[in-house]
Amino acid sequence: MKHLIDIKDLSVEEIDELIKVAKDIMSNPEKYQEKCKYKKLATLFFEPSTRTRLSFEAAMMELGGNVIGFSSSNASSTAKGESVSDTIRTVGCYSDIIAMRHPKEGAPLVASEKSTVPIINAGDGGHNHPTQTLTDLLTIYSEKNRLDNLTIGLCGDLKFGRTVHSLITAMSRYKNIKFVLISPDELKIPDYVKEEILEKNNIEYIETNDIEEHMSKLDILYMTRVQRERFFNEEDYLRLKDYYILNNAKLKNAKKDLCIMHPLPRVNEISVEVDDDERACYFRQVLYGKFIRMALILKLLNIK
Ligand code: CP
């Protein structure tokens, strides 16, 4: 049995295969509509979500399977003090695969150690979000036709942004990837990401707090939200929340084929005027998320 807790659980070859299957699903959805007949996915969301939970549920339904679950810890026996381990052992009796989001870093890993069915980490605290990364990889591949030779700008909350940490980990395995890390000083990328991923793999990167400084070099601009729920101090959040607001003026020197991504939800960090720009990929990115999750469910359930 295989779980997906960290994007590193998948080899580059496995990611390439998932992308290939996702592309095939996009082209031939009818081939897949009964692949998960009689299978059940449980979505256990101890933290709010729109895209991840609903895309997992839509993915399973489009594969012909069924979905059970809860969308907040208050709607489960967690509110009565039940542990994650006991919840997982219970839900494994009712389902074939579990997608789980939890505010505590490492909770899905703990769950996987007790689970009788595959566990998918659907986001754990400020740590990892591997299925967002698979979504991002399918988006980049679909929009740029490659996963190598790219200069990627990551902008916003690079400290708490779990999607950023997972994406850097994944992209660092491809050739000639450069990163421009754009954040206020307080929200810089954690040292462990710099030391254990970027420096260890000799990946070129620049840190800056100016979004326009390197705009003309970027192939991808990945915007992120300043995450109110990770701050201990509301004053710090209010001071930093609108530090970057991407608008048409800031894109004036950007490449014609720049791909602007955002894992969403957006608050203020991308002005709505950018939505009409063909380079805004973030709503296409949402749709790619459903297809890659379909491919992942098939893989973890070992369905060809
Ligand atoms: N990108 C993402 O994880 O969105 P949700 O929080 O809505 O699931």
pLDDT, tens digit, 9 for 90 and up, residues 90-132: 999 999 999 999 999 999 999 999 999 999 999 998 788 999 9
Active site residue 52: yes
Q: Model's pTM, two decimal places?
A: 0.95
CATH, domain 131-286, list 3.40.640.10, 2.70.70.10, 3.40.50.1370, 3.40.50.2000: 3.40.50.1370
Model confidence pLDDT, tens digit, residues 193-240 = 999 999 999 999 999 999 999 999 999 999 998 877 666 688 877 877
Catalytic-labelled residue, pool 35, 39, 40, 101: 101
Residue (of 24, 236, 32, 219) closest to 140 by Cα position: 219
Q: Which of 100, 120, 124, 132 for mutating ligand 1's site (highest number of atoms within 8 Å of CB)?
A: 132
Determine the Cα–Cα distance for residues 114 and 93; give it in Å rounded to an integer: 12
What's the confidence (pLDDT) of residue 151?
A: 98
What's the confidence (pLDDT) of residue 238?
A: 82
What's the confidence (pLDDT) of residue 125?
A: 86
Ligand 1 centroid distance, CA of 123 (Å)? 9
- Which amino acid belongs to residue 89? R
What's the confidence (pLDDT) of residue 196?
A: 95
What's the confidence (pLDDT) of residue 1?
A: 74
What's the confidence (pLDDT) of residue 239?
A: 79
CB 297 within 8 A of CB 41: yes
* Atom 6 of ligand 1: nearest residue by CA position: 49
Active site residue 80: yes
pLDDT in tens, the chain (304 residues): 799 999 999 999 999 999 999 999 999 999 999 999 999 999 999 999 999 999 999 999 999 999 999 999 998 999 999 999 999 999 999 999 999 999 999 999 999 999 999 999 999 987 889 999 999 999 999 999 999 999 999 999 999 888 999 999 999 999 999 999 999 998 999 999 999 999 999 999 999 999 999 999 999 999 998 877 666 688 877 877 888 999 999 999 999 999 999 999 999 999 999 999 999 999 999 999 999 999 999 999 999 9
Active site residue 230: no
Ligand 1 centroid distance, CA of 167 (Å)? 15
Catalytic-labelled residue, pool 39, 129, 178, 241: 129
Domain boundaries, the chain: 7-129+289-300, 131-286
Topology of domain 7-129+289-300 in CATH is: Rossmann fold (3.40.50)
Catalytic-labelled residue, pool 51, 188, 194, 250: 51
